[in-house]
Amino acid sequence: MDGRAEDGGRVYQASGDQHINEQHHHYGRDGVAPGGPDSVRRPAVGRLPVVLRDRGEVMERLRASVGADRVGEVFVLYGMGGAGKTAVACALFEEVTAAEGRVGLWVNAADRASLRAGMLAVAADRGADDAELLAARNGLRPAADLVWRYLDRSAEPWLLVLDNTDDPEILRDGSWLRTSPRGTVLVTTRRAAAHWWPGAELQHIGVLPREDAALVLRDLAPNCGTTEQAARVADRLGRLPLALTLAGGFLSHQVLDPWTMDSYGDRLDAPDPAGPRQPVGGAARRRSGHRGGRCAALPACGVRPAARP
């Protein structure tokens, strides 16, 4: 069978049960995204759950934090890797930016280089000119001072998300974390110690209750089994939202040879004579350090694995 691609797309040829998802984003005739290819106006996130389960209470608190009468505050979402901190932050980001008059700014704070680049992009978004940005990049003026000068002078109120801030020490190098009368800062991190976050309000994000964990799977793969069957798989995955989302996505993509929840669970538990596999979600398991269940989804690349212990 012949294939043809248009507008920068690519043609793939494969055999077996495979699912390939390729996305293209177009930004007008010149093909340039607003604010550059890594615009801070868009959350840099992967697959999100269809519905944000069991987060109603924390979402209410966060909505109140960005109300008209609440400014100059820092909120910290903490919990193990894969618990859904970024999903909560993204949900709030989308809500506040959908409302008129508030700007959302998203920075990956996983390391010093990403934090610095993202925060300087924030300064550019808020009006810093090229000469100022160049001086900050070259160390001729304090970069954090430049960023917060423009955040403080912002004509629009804002929400600034510092995502994946698992090494809070990098925020102290240059005093990147501050408060401002013009907006609210929301941090996601695995580090809960209060001394890292003086003056901030901390909110724990944990694993899901069993019923909600099962619903995450069924939101993505409603035809693969009952709620109880999904709950048993959720237990095996430690009820971590990231692992559940990966698993549900995998199940929903098995079109030619569909899997059930039970068959998926059996594959998680069956012995593997060829040795352990490397699953989608394995990185999430290593980041979280969670040992209460298998925080891993089977590969979603179309290559069906041997079973593992």
Residue 277, pLDDT score: 44
Could you read off the pLDDT of 253-288 as tens digits, one per residue?
A: 988 888 999 999 998 887 665 544 433 334 343 344
Residue 6, pLDDT score: 44
Query: Phi/psi class of residue 208: alpha, beta or left (left: φ > 0; alpha: ψ in -120 to 50)?
Result: beta
Residue 68, pLDDT score: 66
Most confident of 1-5, 8-12, 154-158: 154-158
Percent of the chain, pLDDT > 70? 74
- Contact criterion met (CB below 8 Å) for 271 and 307: yes
> Lowest-pLDDT range, 33-42, 174-183, 239-248?
33-42
Looking at the domain assignment, is residue 128 inside a domain?
yes
- Judge if 78 and 116 occupy the same domain: yes
pLDDT-derived band at 210 (thresholds 50, 70, 90) equals very high
Looking at the domain assignment, is residue 119 inside a domain?
yes
Residue 44, pLDDT score: 85
Last residue of a domain, one of 179, 204, 229: 204
CATH number where 137 lies: 3.40.50.300
- Contact criterion met (CB below 8 Å) for 119 and 147: yes
The total domain count for the chain is: 2
pLDDT-derived band at 103 (thresholds 50, 70, 90) equals very high
Mean pLDDT of all residues in 121-133: 97
Residue 79, pLDDT score: 97
- Judge if 186 and 242 occupy the same domain: no
- Judge if 224 and 126 occupy the same domain: no
| pLDDT surpassing 60 at residue 198 | yes
**Which spans in 126-271 are helix H?**
130-137, 143-152, 169-172, 210-220, 227-236, 241-252, 261-269
pLDDT-derived band at 293 (thresholds 50, 70, 90) equals very low
- Helices 227-236/210-220 angle, 10° precision: 110
Residue 272, pLDDT score: 60
| pLDDT surpassing 70 at residue 133 | yes
Q: What are phi and psi of 5, to 5 degrees?
A: -120, 150
The pTM assigned to this predicted structure is 0.77
Which of 183, 177, 149, 178 lies closest to 165, judged by CA? 177
| pLDDT surpassing 80 at residue 215 | yes
- Judge if 74 and 200 occupy the same domain: yes
- Contact criterion met (CB below 8 Å) for 270 and 307: yes
Structural domain boundaries, residue 178: 56-204
Could you read off the pLDDT of 22-74 as tens digits, one per residue?
A: 333 333 333 333 443 358 999 988 778 889 999 999 999 999 888 766 778 99
Q: Rounded to an integer, what distance in angstroms lies between the CA atom of residue 179 and that of residue 148?
A: 9
> Lowest-pLDDT range, 38-42, 103-107, 123-127, 131-135?
38-42
Could you read off the pLDDT of 218-232 as tens digits, one per residue?
A: 999 999 999 999 999
- Judge if 158 and 231 occupy the same domain: no
- Judge if 178 and 111 occupy the same domain: yes
- Judge if 79 and 162 occupy the same domain: yes
Question: Going by C-beta distance under 8 Å and a sequence separation of 6 or more, which residues neighbour residue 109?
Answer: 115, 118, 162, 163, 164, 165, 170, 171, 187
Burial of 56 (0-12, 13-18, 19+ CB in 10 A): exposed
